[in-house]
């Protein structure tokens, strides 16, 4: 099996930003958190399953695009997305805690 | 210590070491080293995915009811409010990064010997997996410390 690495890198970036969005939205909106919990019984399990399904969907959507000969650009974007996504999540919870 | 936590931590560390192995094999790649890197990356994906499931099962069935309330009422409430909350969400990036690294190694196989950009791209991803997985272990230590501090405060 030869995966399309441009599609894999873009799917990774997409999932990173989706996780950031779901995390912040669930903390800021009680109805959204309740909606996630209502899907499978726990909001974190719902986020996990949505992330996994989204990764597969993004991969098949992006796979239609031509694969780049050098994946460096899309991989760097994925790495930057993960690093900034992680920093945003940490900063959000720190801010949330400090504000009480 | 709960068995699921031990399993979660051991699998996570095994995943981190697998991608450290990938990184080292890519520094000066040959056909044999690339074959080993593909095996290590595949094992790393399995370990990190299994760690996700073990940690998630513990988080949903045990942590929320038995550990979280104690940490939040103890002397280090930020161990849950900042560290656990960050860890449980940032962990979700890891299996997908691991799949990306494995995908790069599987797709380009022996091209790594001639293509420096490919090596840089895959080393970046593998290095980030290693750093994040060890950061998860560090966060796990802080969370355990928060729990221990809460128990000590209760006992005293």
pLDDT the model gives residue A69: 76
DSSP output for A19-74: HHHHHHHHHH-HHHHHHHHHHHSSHHHHHHHHHHHHHHHHHHHHTTSPPPS-THHH
The whole-chain average pLDDT of chain B stands at: 95
- What's the confidence (pLDDT) of residue B1? 64
Contacts of B88 (CB under 8 A, 6+ apart): A44, B59
Token pair, residue B73, equals 């009422």
Identify the CA nearest to B13 among candidates B143, B141, B144, B133.
B133
Structure confidence by residue, pLDDT tens digits, A3-40: 999 999 999 999 999 999 999 999 999 999 999 999 99
Annotated domain spans of chain A: 5-98
How far does the CA of residue A81 sit from the closest CA of chain B (Å)? 10
Structural domain spans, chain B? 3-155
Smallest CA–CA distance, residue B84 to chain A, in Å, is 10
ipTM (interface predicted TM): 0.95
Under 8 Å CB-to-CB from A45, ≥6 apart: which residues?
B56, B60
B22 touches B122 (CB < 8 A): yes
Name the closest residue on chain B to residue A43, using Cα atoms.
B60
**Contact at CB, A12 and B117, closer than 8 angstroms:** no
Give the pLDDT mean for B19-27.
97
pLDDT at residue A65 greater than cutoff 90: no
C-alpha dist (Å) from residue B62 to A2, B32, B66, B93, B101: 40, 44, 6, 23, 32
% of chain B at pLDDT higher than 70: 99
* CB within 8 Å of B112: residues ≥ 6 apart: B26, B29, B34, B105, B118, B119, B122
CB pairs under 8 A between A and B: 101
Q: How confident is the model at residue B79 (pLDDT cuts 50, 70, 90)?
A: very high
pLDDT reading at B156 higher than 80: no
Tell me which of A65-69, B59-63, B141-145 is least confident.
A65-69
Q: What are the tokens at A2?
A: 């030869």
Average pLDDT, stretch B4-23? Answer: 97
What CA–CA distance (Å, rounded) separates A44 from A42? Answer: 6
pLDDT of the residue at B8: 96
Residues in chain B within 8 Å Cβ distance of A5: 100, 103-104, 107-108
Quote the CA–CA distance of A32 and A43 in Å, as a whole number: 9
> How do residues B26-65 score in pLDDT, each as one tens digit?
999 999 999 999 999 999 999 999 999 999 999 999 999 9
Q: How far apart are CA B104 and CA B132, in angstroms?
A: 19
Per the structure block, which two tokens stand in for B74?
């103890």
Q: What is the pLDDT of residue B77?
A: 97
Tell whether domain B3-155 is in CATH 1.20.120: yes
Query: Tens digits of per-residue pLDDT, B82-106?
Result: 999 999 999 999 999 999 999 999 9
């Amino acid at each position: 099996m030869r995966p399309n690495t441009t599609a894999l890198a873009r799917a990774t970036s997409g999932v990173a930003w989706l996780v950031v969005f779901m995390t912040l939205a669930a903390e800021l909106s009680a109805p959204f958190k309740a909606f996630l919990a209502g899907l499978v019984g726990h909001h974190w399990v719902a986020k996990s399953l949505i992330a996994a399904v989204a990764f597969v969907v993004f991969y098949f959507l992006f796979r239609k695009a031509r694969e780049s000969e050098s994946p460096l650009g899309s991989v760097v974007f994925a790495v930057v997305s993960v690093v900034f996504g992680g920093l945003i999540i940490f900063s959000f919870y720190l801010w949330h805690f400090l504000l009480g | 210590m709960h068995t699921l936590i031990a399993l979660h931590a051991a699998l996570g560390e095994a995943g981190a070491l697998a991608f450290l192995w990938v990184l080292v094999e890519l520094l000066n790649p040959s056909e044999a080293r690339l074959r080993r890197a593909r095996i290590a990356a595949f094992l790393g994906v399995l370990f990190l995915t299994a760690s996700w499931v073990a940690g998630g099962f513990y988080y949903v069935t045990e942590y929320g009811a038995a550990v979280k309330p104690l940490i939040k009422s103890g002397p280090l409430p930020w161990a849950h409010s900042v560290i656990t909350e960050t860890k449980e969400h940032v962990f979700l990036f890891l299996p997908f990064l691991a799949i990306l690294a494995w995908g790069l190694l599987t797709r380009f196989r022996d091209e790594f010997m001639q293509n420096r950009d490919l090596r840089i791209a895959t080393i970046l991803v593998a290095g980030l997996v290693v750093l994040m997985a060890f950061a998860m272990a560090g966060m796990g230590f802080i969370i355990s410390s928060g729990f221990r501090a809460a128990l000590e405060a209760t006992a005293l």
